[in-house]
Structure 1
């Protein structure tokens, strides 16, 4: 009888220890280069499938996904559903920014997307292309297991204009605050910025002890290749750069962070390596240290 009681207690403790945990990946599905006959989507797709099978993430924020890729990704990820906005159409090229999530683990409470340019926030695309705007898909999710409610924002910063990126970053943070309020927030994305850039400093600025977002790789208790450039340019010499990040606010404990250098023979998983984090919801929020800065969107 006592042995059975021990087994029951162990099972309850084990279940509780895993409750409220999330495994999140950000993955840019990659550029298509006409002259590259090796790293085609068809050659890379089996590598992508095996990678996600091995990782078994709860949530995937993807960038540079068109309808062709979305259909093939949904086929190789049968345990997942995806979130895209209702304003998409077949003419969209590499602009879907889907959020894949495990169907049996989460309920969707809200979803949409918006666009940011140097001039402001756009709720409808209005005939603009990726090199003119930044794309953000977002959703409010509820964990079926633990009941936690949180927001995820999946970002593709497409432009390459430092001055406008700074404005866009401030507008993005403002919109996150408007939508998520005081809730837990996860941000996945391809930002095309390094940690020395002004854009990066704005995004992770310490404007609130609990609600401002931080780079999960800086918070992780363990990790691998955390400072390794996620953009690999399919091995083109001298082109590697930092690009892909996962940010979280103070509702999360970051257990592990990794940049996955996936390559099979001469075929890369993408010209962007995926980045993953293991998170756990905190019962008591973690207070951010350091000086408080001015709200980055005050003048926007």
Structure 2
């Protein structure tokens, strides 16, 4: 009887030891092309969309998310409407405030910013520039973040690939993969953004077979993807093409993936892209 009791105690001690060594945690990541403030968008003006978008982000409780097409005044508006979030990023035209940002927002209560940086998607990535056959300058924003509770550290890269240049999109895939290796090394990585190519494109295959990253959609145990990610402010647009993606290094597992098709008013959308969200888990070794 004593031997059996000792065996049970030993097993309990082992289980507690394993629990102390490895702990699973969840993080909600997202990507959101918010649509730049276009004066011609009278029915979908930014002033109307901003409060809805801010409420949507708060309701869905994003922990960290990438944004695209953000002009300086839109960045200021989002920051004021989302006081719990910090952000990083620069204007793509001058590396300061001119042009669209690919800003990364993060919950300041949960994460501490450790490092940050940016580079342009071009042959001269260290300075504001237009690459290859791109129509306009494109920038990647990255940050290293630490979970304040667990100490877990990871990198978040956020991009907006060119909408015209086929070569630019192809070269941007290569450049981003190279920079991820240079900047993050073997650390956990999230890559989010508007890639302007869908899951049917060869560049998608290049990324998904790189050995570095996998699409959260493919990894998810549960998916909600009733339509593609671009809506053009058109309620009846029919497409299954996902051009906004969340890519993850093998450090993460995906519980749920969703394309959020929320509307407001009489069927309006907060943006001409739907936000993409993924609940991911990671293990902290102690």
TM range (shorter): 0.7 to 0.9
Contact 2:257 2:279 in 1 (8 A): yes
Which digits, 9 at most, give the CA deviation of each residue in 1:38-80, with x for residues without a partner? Answer: 1110111121022012111110111110111011101110111
Structure 2: distance between partners of 1:26 and 1:127 = 23
Aligned to 2:96: 89
Using the size of structure 2 for normalisation, the TM-score is 0.83
Within the candidate set 43, 54, 75, 2:48 is matched to: 43
CA RMSD of aligned residues (A): 2.6
Aligned to 1:291: none
Structure 2: distance between partners of 1:278 and 1:29 = 21
Contact 2:90 2:96 in 1 (8 A): no
Q: Please state whether the residue corresponding to 1:46 is helix, strand or coil.
A: helix
Contact 1:85 1:112 in 2 (8 A): no
Residue pairs, 1:107-256, within 5 angstroms? 107-117=112-122, 120-126=123-129, 131-206=135-210, 208=211, 212-225=212-225, 228-235=227-234, 241-256=241-256
- Residue 279 (structure 1) aligned with residue 263 (structure 2): no
Structure 2: distance between partners of 1:266 and 1:238 = 13
Contact 1:233 1:239 in 2 (8 A): no
Structure 2: distance between partners of 1:136 and 1:170 = 13
Assess, with a 3 A threshold, how the Cα gap between structure 1 residues 17 and 49 changes in structure 2: closer, same or farther. farther
Q: Please state whether the residue corresponding to 1:176 is helix, strand or coil.
A: helix
Within the candidate set 97, 105, 123, 1:100 is matched to: 105
Structure 1: distance between partners of 2:238 and 2:74 = 25
Assess, with a 3 A threshold, how the Cα gap between structure 1 residues 139 and 283 changes in structure 2: closer, same or farther. same
CA apart distance, 1:33: 4.2
Which digits, 9 at most, give the CA deviation of each residue in 1:228-268, with x for residues without a partner? Answer: 21010110765854311100010001111000002112421
Assess, with a 3 A threshold, how the Cα gap between structure 1 residues 236 and 260 changes in structure 2: closer, same or farther. closer
Contact 1:222 1:256 in 2 (8 A): yes
Aligned to 1:57: 62
- Residue 79 (structure 1) aligned with residue 84 (structure 2): yes
Aligned to 1:295: none
**Unaligned 5+ runs, structure 2:** 1-20
Structure ID, larger Rg? 2
Structure 2: distance between partners of 1:204 and 1:133 = 25
Structure 2: distance between partners of 1:255 and 1:121 = 38
Which digits, 9 at most, give the CA deviation of each residue in 1:128-159, with x for residues without a partner? Answer: 8x833331000011111111111000111124
Structure 1: distance between partners of 2:80 and 2:184 = 31
Using the size of structure 1 for normalisation, the TM-score is 0.80
